Chains A and B, each alone.
Chain A
Amino acid sequence: MKKHFIITVAAGLLASLAGYSQDLANFTDALEGKYPGLTVIRNDGTPGAGVPRMMIRGIGSFAQGTDVNTLKIFVDGFEVQQDFISYLSPEEIESVVVCKNAADLAEYGMNGANGVLAITTKRGTVGAPVITFKTRGGVQMPINVAKPLNSRRYAALYNQAWSNDHGREWDPYYDFEAMNAYKAGEGIDVNWYDEVFKPLTNYADGSLSIRGGSNTALYSVVLDYANQQGFLNVRNTDRTKNVSFVKYGIRTNLDMKLNDIFTVSVDVGGRLEDRNRPNYSVYQLVNDVMSYPSNIYPIFDADATDPISNYSGTAVHPNNPVGSLSGLGWTTSRTKLMQANFKFKEDLGSLVKGLYLLQGFSFYSRTIGNTAKTRTYARYNQGVPQTADISTYIRSNGYWSSGKENWMQGNVTVGWDSEFGLHTLRTKLDARISDFSGSGSAFYNWKYRYANFVARADWAYDSRFDATLALSVFGSDAYAPGKSFVPYPTVGFGWNLSNEEFLKSSPVVNKLRLRASAGFTGATEAYVGIEGFETNGRYLYEQYYTWTGSFVQGMGPNFGGGASGIRPLFMSHPDVTAEKSLKADIGVEAILWNLLTVKADYFADYRTGILTPDNTLMDYNGAQVAYTNLGKMFNHGVDAQFVVAKKSGEVDWSVFGNVLFAKNKVIEMGEVGAKYPYNAVTGLPYGTRMGLENTGFYKVTDFDLDGELNMGLPVPLYGAIQPGDLKYKDQDGDSFIDDTDIVKVGNPSYPSLTLSLGGEVKYKGFDLSFLITGSAGSTVNLMDYDEWKPFLNYGNAFEWAEGAWVYYPEAKLDTRETATFPRLSTGQNDNNYHASSFWVKDNAWLRLQEVELGYTIPLNTKAIKNFRVCVTGYNLLTLSTLLAKYKMDPETANYGYPASKAVNLGLQISF
């Protein structure tokens, strides 16, 4: 009977699907592909930096943009930051539930609109201690390598760009001798990429868990460790460090039954995370590698007579990538994270049958401390210092902190369960308060408080019908006094058809359940930033003022006679409140032929009151911006999961798959200024790429002899053009190409379709498992990457620029018919680099995320219960046009630190 109360929770059915084989160190990455409705898009592979983007059922609200995680995360019933779960050990995890339906989110109030990830950690079980030791180790390799051109190919393209920019006369910047020198390998030609990156690095982790307990006490202890080294081509010494991530985790979960009434639980999960890197931002270093041409200077300047170091450098390219790696010292940061939960339960069944009380308290803390050993180096060019830097020896820096967070939460519950006849009723009242405070680095955004009062009743009848009625009254400190609390009601119904007479004896249908729920939730966050007022949607009811520059008004001298000025910030709005979500879903769950388990949901999410800058606010009201709850969005779709599991003879196999399709539409976002309907983004999915519609390249014949565009052709208003530039369609026919010709040119940056397929076969001690993930419906805009703007800001060129349109018959250059890239220029080209259909590329991909072959060695000893060895490959195969053609990992979607694939050997022993 009890099960009925969780059946409305769609995710509950198959919580423990494929275990938690874990991709490298990051726990959240490992959630990818395992839960219907959850999309995980990985970030780059920098050790310790990869916080993925996570979405539950797509994007329901534009309030936080497309790149920010808006779902909430609860561990053992208390909210945590995503940092906390990023590096949990899989050994700690009992279950992960993706709360996405109205019924799942009934108790979450303003925390619920964007979904909730509810994680439960493992507890002890009654019995003798089970000790499990696991260890893995292996190598990692980059997936996406995009190397800039070497000096010869760079110079060849630069000559085109230079000539294009200087009157379209063939006028090579690098003359014949220089080009010949490059060809002969005599000129400067440094492959910065290979100097900075190595193709292989190593990884190791291990964990030890002990579980057991008696009728009065249960315990679960997990220790874990991981060490992930980066791809930087530098050794770990006293003077230099590779980028790396090392974690040490410990968790102790204890349950003590004190007597018939009192049960006490104490959970402490803590972790130390050490991140090392050269004393130079890895992000910036990769940026430098990608943007510094091969021919700027040799790594070391042979003419420098500096006794400490002789790195090359110039004012234009001051940060010699090898110097950044080895010449600046290193920094290390240590993050300390802890969640400690204390829970008490009083079973008052002796007073009133079914009555109980719960109290819980949670303390969460995160602090980051840093130290460094630093030095600097002089930049030389032919013996002459180029910048003010002076070479120094390494020295130790002090300690500094880069943040602290504290979070205290508490809840009290009164519950009463009863059964009468065929009816089962569960009721509860719950009160919860939460107090989060951050480091204060963003002034207006460091303290969050909320209170949530929940009343809930679940009723079931005869195992056939059930219903849920819940109300959350949620209060947030973000809103004006008197406006803090908002009620969020939810209803849910379930019908177990398989328990009806007509299906009870069906040989095909073993289980069939229909369910539906509808309810309200809210969201408090919104991207609201103005002049350092990073409110995150908070306190907008309060009129704030800000200090400004001073002004002299009196007779006195202009120097020092001024007084400070004050002026109001944004325009306050007393009625600002939380964004509201009305969610509805209908779902089916079935087990057929005792083989196939299916569940599928159609969902719809209607958002109102999304906090949006009121663009219709007339400027004559004198405030730069006002935020109001005017935004509206609609998101709907389906998610589904199937599992087939069968044991036939000695073969034990299973296959599962997940699919999510979600499509949203902006109904209202205060858009102003769309001249034509096709310019508007309202009515399209949020984040739809807008741009000009490319119609090829300008031909030589499009211009007259003076280089002027022929009469009758629409004139682009993005600067001067010449043959080989991108040509656009004049949508409104006004003979000008400008921003009124912008149309939809591509899908948003996030996928509409997320897929996965996994499976496992076991045979005589061998096991083989795999997981394939994929997504579709997203795009990238290549203009987001400077790698696609050759030579910009003294930058680099990549192989794709070799497809440039060029026509210099005197130099035997003619790609008029075959060009795949607009004509080159040495600087910014506003016409070609404008957002357009030419640069927006679909991003659909499939990836063999994980494949593992294991063997459990049969041992004739009782001391060892299980001894298994395995070899695991991660991300070994990726099918993606983005990767194949543009050298980008389809999930990371950038040219930064590469994503990685890996092969590990593992060992697992249980005692």
Chain B
Amino acid sequence: MKKIRIVAIMTAVLMSVSGCNLFLEMPEVTGSVYLEDVFSNRKDTEGMLWRAYHRGLREGLPEGWAINHGTLASLSGEITRGYSWHAGYNLVVNGPTTVLDASGQFQGAPADFNENWEVIRACWIIIANIDKCPELSDEMKEYMKGEAYALIAYRYVGMFQRWGGVPIVRQANEMTDDIAFPRASAQKTLDFALEMINEAETRLPDTWTDIEPGCGDKWEGRITKGAVLAMKARLLTFAARPLFNAEQSYAKEFGMAYSADSLIWLEGYDKERYKKAIDAHLAVIEWGKAHGKHLIFTAGEGNRNTFEQAIDDYGRGVSELNGPETLLAFKIESDQQVYNNMTEGYNWSAYVDAGERSLRGVLTNFVRLYRDKDGGEIDWPVVGEAAPRDISDFAANIDKIEPRFRVDICVPGKYGRSNDGDAKWNEGIWYMGSLTSDAAIAASMSRAIEGRSIGVPTKFYYKAGARRWFEFPLFRLAEAYMSLAECYNEYGDAANALKYLNIIRNRAGLPSVAETDQAKLRELIVRERALEFFEENQRYYDVKHWKHPDIGTKILGGPMTEISFLTTDGANTMAALISYWDAYSYTGYWHPKWFLEPFRQDEVNKGIIAQNPGY
């Protein structure tokens, strides 16, 4: 009897304890999403990837990274520095810092290192879990893994350009993992990025058109094998360029004390790095030929476009949505539709009702790079001239300037060629150019209105009509041609260098060049690349990785100047314009430490990663 009682009591106790476990193991958390939920259906699995796309591709764009409102074009001497609250405004004159600002934001450098990692983590989670999703075909799962690898690779390519060697993260680390590891060397970072690219390349499709029955071109715009090939080619180009590919690190070269050179340099010069880049770019062009991606070039290789052909080809090349020249584009976040930083804020759309866009004139420093349509130099005003020049001089210059200028920049009086006949892209643009009606200002030759200069960019909006948004081209085939010209020249093959350079020149309506001196040809390539990729976030990296000798005096650093106009009644018509002149605007910052960007100090203070030299 007693035994039965004891057994009964023990049973009751055990039952209550196990019951209690059940009682405690049901967290009721409304509105929450678990890993199992995410990968239980196609829509949410894709949602995870879309988020990674959005966050991963927006680097360098005014979408909330450290650059905030502001563009790399402002930092690289292409356009003016914008409004005082734009991150670039102070950066461009004071240089980068490593600390958070008063509001807790990090705007001390053009990019926030920390921003990369959410994307990479999300991609690893996708790679590890996508096989659980029952609503995706096995083929689609492989494609999506490929996209995730490609996004990881894209972040590593971006980080390699900005910081050199960074930590190598091979999974979505958990708190129970060993999660404190230092930066890898630049070489290891390069190798890892290539490894990720290869993982992506083996999985991704060549085209998303009809990838699933009936889907048509619904998925056009996702990462393809071609986009990853272009990524690889860009990565290898940066690996070959002088910043990393040199006899000594830039820290040594410029006398900055630094003990971890392998983080910022590939530990020696190797000419063959150019060869690898050449092969990668050729592969991009070859792939393009097989899959409908090509340079838009009406006259065809070996011929020179007419002025009008050049306007149309170049305009379409940089503006056409999912056009034949675009390998990958950043597609605007649709929940904000047109009203986001990319368009309404400080950015690319000059479309009639400018928001924060009015202080984005093209610096005269950059305007001087354009040639006339037959390849000759143009005589622009310079600071220090005795008096403003008559407006007829301006009209003559614009009439003879090359086609790309006319597509990319809308100027008072002459307007632009991006949308012929559409007032909203021409005379209707507000705040076009630094105009003043005050003759005293003109007489003193000081600038009337800072930031508007000669005119506003209209690039990416060729024949856009009422479309105010655009898709920023991240990889455009023209890059392969320009990089081939550069790499062949550095590799010592002037003939091939000229071949690819002249394709771009001829497409732009310019005559071929035949310069074979490596140094002179290099400068021709540098200049051509600036014009072809105006506002495409290339120049900021290019001039640093070239260690261009003028970087501190004319390109990023040094005095920046802007054109101003005297006009009647503030009007921007040719009839109202009287004269124009060039005037000093600000002095850009440069210090060799800015070859690479800083890590945030609060991250460095954790004692695990080393800061880049000079910060």
A residues in contact (CB < 8 Å) with B = 431, 433, 435, 437, 440, 443-444, 446-447, 449-451, 453, 475-478, 481, 484, 538-539, 542-556, 558-568, 571-575, 614-624, 626, 628, 672-673, 675, 739, 830
Contact = CB atoms under 8 A, between A and B. Distances in A.
Contacts of A623: 118, 121
Of the listed residues A477, A546, A555, the one surrounded by the most CB atoms of chain B closer than 10 A to its CB is A555
A28 B382 CA distance: 78
A201 B606 CA distance: 57
A715 to B, nearest CB: 14
A624 B29 CA distance: 21
Interface residues of B, number: 78
Contacts of A626: 175
B464 interface: no
B176 interface: yes
Contacts of B293: none
Contacts, number: 211
Contact of B29 (A476, A539, A543, A830): A539
Interface string B46-77: 11101111110000000000000000000000
28 contacts: A444-B32, A446-B30, A451-B20, A481-B21, A538-B27, A539-B29, A545-B35, A545-B38, A549-B54, A549-B333, A553-B53, A555-B220, A555-B221, A558-B331, A558-B338, A562-B335, A563-B47, A564-B50, A565-B48, A566-B38, A567-B118, A572-B174, A574-B175, A617-B175, A618-B180, A622-B117, A622-B122, A672-B606
Nearest to A830: B102
A478 B25 CA distance: 9
A553 B335 CA distance: 13
A449 B22 CA distance: 11
Contacts of A450: 24
B334 A555 contact: no
B113 interface: yes
A542 B32 CA distance: 10
Contact of A477 (B24, B99, B175): B24
A449 B23 contact: yes
A571 B174 contact: yes
Contacts of A615: 606
B125 interface: yes
Contacts of B117: 619-622
Contacts of B47: 547, 550, 563-566
A567 B122 contact: yes
Interface in B1-56: 16-17, 20-21, 23-35, 37-38, 43-44, 46-48, 50-55
B322 interface: yes
A547 B47 CA distance: 8
B606 A560 contact: no
A539 to B, nearest CB: 5
A453 B16 CA distance: 10
Contacts of B121: 568, 621-623
B480 interface: no
Nearest to A434: B23
A907 to B, nearest CB: 51
Contacts of A475: 20-21, 24
B298 interface: no
Contacts of A618: 167, 179-180, 603, 606, 608-609
Contact of A550 (B50, B174, B220, B321): B50
Interface in B146-175: 166-167, 169, 172-175
A286 to B, nearest CB: 27
B33 A553 contact: no
A441 to B, nearest CB: 10
B175 A571 contact: yes
Nearest to A615: B606
Nearest to B147: A553
B352 to A, nearest CB: 19
B334 A562 contact: yes
A551 B605 contact: no
A26 B215 CA distance: 67
Nearest to B45: A566
Nearest to B182: A618
Nearest to A476: B24
Contact of A551 (B17, B51, B180): B51
Interface in B571-615: 601-603, 605-606, 608-609
A672 B608 CA distance: 12
Which 8 residue pairs across A and B have the least CB separation, nearest first? A622-B121, A565-B51, A562-B334, A555-B220, A622-B117, A551-B54, A619-B114, A566-B47
A443 B31 contact: yes
B291 interface: no
A580 to B, nearest CB: 18
Interface in B105-128: 113-114, 116-122, 124-125
A568 B21 contact: no
B50 A565 contact: yes
A328 B35 CA distance: 48
Interface in B181-229: 208, 217-222
Given A431-B16, A565-B48, A567-B51, A620 B166 contact: yes
B48 A567 contact: yes
Nearest to A484: B24
Contacts of B608: 618
A565 B179 contact: no
Contacts of A574: 174-176
Contacts of A435: 23
Contacts of B24: 449-451, 475-477, 481, 484
A737 to B, nearest CB: 14
B555 interface: no
A553 B30 contact: no
Nearest to B336: A549
A450 B179 CA distance: 33
B332 interface: yes
B27 A447 contact: yes
Given A565-B50, A619-B114, A620-B169, A672 B602 contact: yes
Nearest to B102: A830
B222 A553 contact: yes
B392 interface: no
A297 B437 CA distance: 39
A554 B50 CA distance: 10
A621 B37 CA distance: 23
A563 B337 contact: no
B297 interface: no
Contact of B54 (A431, A565, A568): A565
Contact of B175 (A546, A550, A628, A673): A628
Contacts of A551: 50-51, 53-54, 331, 333-334
Contacts of A444: 29, 32
A37 to B, nearest CB: 32
A575 B175 contact: yes
Contacts of A673: 601-602, 605
Contacts of A433: 20, 23
Interface in B424-476: 469
Contact of B331 (A476, A552, A560): A552
Given A443-B29, A553-B219, A622-B172, 10 more contacts: A433-B23, A443-B30, A549-B336, A551-B333, A553-B50, A553-B53, A565-B54, A567-B51, A620-B117, A621-B169
Contacts of B180: 616, 618
Contacts of A552: 221, 331-334
Nearest to A566: B47
A558 B26 contact: no
Interface in B333-377: 333-338
B123 to A, nearest CB: 9
Given A551-B331, A616-B606, A624-B118, A477 B25 contact: yes
Contacts of A478: 27
B332 A554 contact: no
A549 B47 CA distance: 10
Which of A450, A552, A559 is packed against the most chain B CB atoms within 10 Å? A552
B228 to A, nearest CB: 16
A544 B30 contact: no
